[in-house]
Amino acid sequence: MLRDITIGQYYPVDSIIHRLDPRVKIVATFVYITALFLVKNFVAYGYVLLFLTVSVLLSKVPFPFMVRGLKPLFLIIILTFGINIFMTKGEIIYQLGPLDVTKEGVIQAVFMGIRLILLIIGTSMLTLTTSPIQLTDGIEKLLDPLKRFGVPAHELAMMMTIALRFIPTLLEETDKIMKAQMARGADFESGNIINRAKSLVPLLVPLFISAFRRADELAMAMEARCYRGGENRTRMKELSFHGRDMAAFLLVTVLLVAVVIDRF
């Protein structure tokens, strides 16, 4: 299950999406999220799905690899589906004990389930197609105007990028600790959800110790390389806009305009 989490992972392959300017991809991700939350019917979902399908095909990231990231969040998707299907009032089509299944509830449940799935796959495209260094540079460039107000743009960009990149590392460490404890007789799979949650408590102490140790090692490595933040820092590859970046920005803008027109 832990290996199925794709958030924070980078899939190295040569594609036009990988070659896009990271600033464009970051802004496009926020525009995509905005468009997704402005959708009010299934027709607009068709626009978003078409945009996402084209993006995935151009990225050359295997679709099964992207869908695999939904498995760890399957429980959240089912919970969202259940809450909407039972809590939405309307025309009753079925009674399940004290709970009523309504026509409006089914439509709302499907609507929110699709939104959650598209949100997960769409946002994972950012880290799957952008290397850590590019992500850091892109965030820093976008935060540059805030420097005049005393905002530490480089430090914030570095912290956010390190946090994202540590997700796969911590998941791998959790998997190792679980296997080590299972070899000593620990049981993480039997019992109900509450018992499974309680069995995960012994993982927290070694996981936190490992996380602090890795953070300390990273800090010492950065200090040994004379890291002093973003002041007077040079880059081997400077960010620059190309025609493909403008085309991508126009494409995501068209998506937002189409969704807004459909809504209003």
* pLDDT one-digit tens code per residue, 197-230: 677 777 788 888 888 888 888 889 888 887 776 6
Residue 180's pLDDT is 81
Q: Total domain count for the chain?
A: 1
Model-level pTM?
A: 0.76
Average pLDDT per consecutive 10 residues, the chain (264 residues; last block may be shorter)? 61 89 92 92 90 91 79 77 79 74 83 88 87 81 81 79 76 80 74 70 81 86 78 70 89 92 86
Residue 16's pLDDT is 92
Residue 231's pLDDT is 65
Residue 5's pLDDT is 61
**Buried b / exposed e across 138-158, counting CB within 10 Å, b at 16+?**
bbbbbbeeeeeeeeebbeebb
Q: If phi over 0 gives left and psi between -120 and 50 gives alpha, with beta otherwise, what is residue 226?
A: left
171 in Cβ contact with 134 (< 8 Å): no
Residue 191's pLDDT is 66
For the chain, the C-alpha Rg in angstroms (whole number) is 22
Q: Residue 138 sits in which domain range? A: 2-263
How far is the C-alpha of 152 from the C-alpha of 170, rounded, in Å? 26
**Tokens representing 94?**
């079925």
What are the C-alpha distances in Å from 215 to residues 9, 221, 229, 264? 18, 10, 17, 48
**Tokens representing 152?**
């530490």
Tally the residues of the chain.
264
**Tokens representing 180?**
């080590």
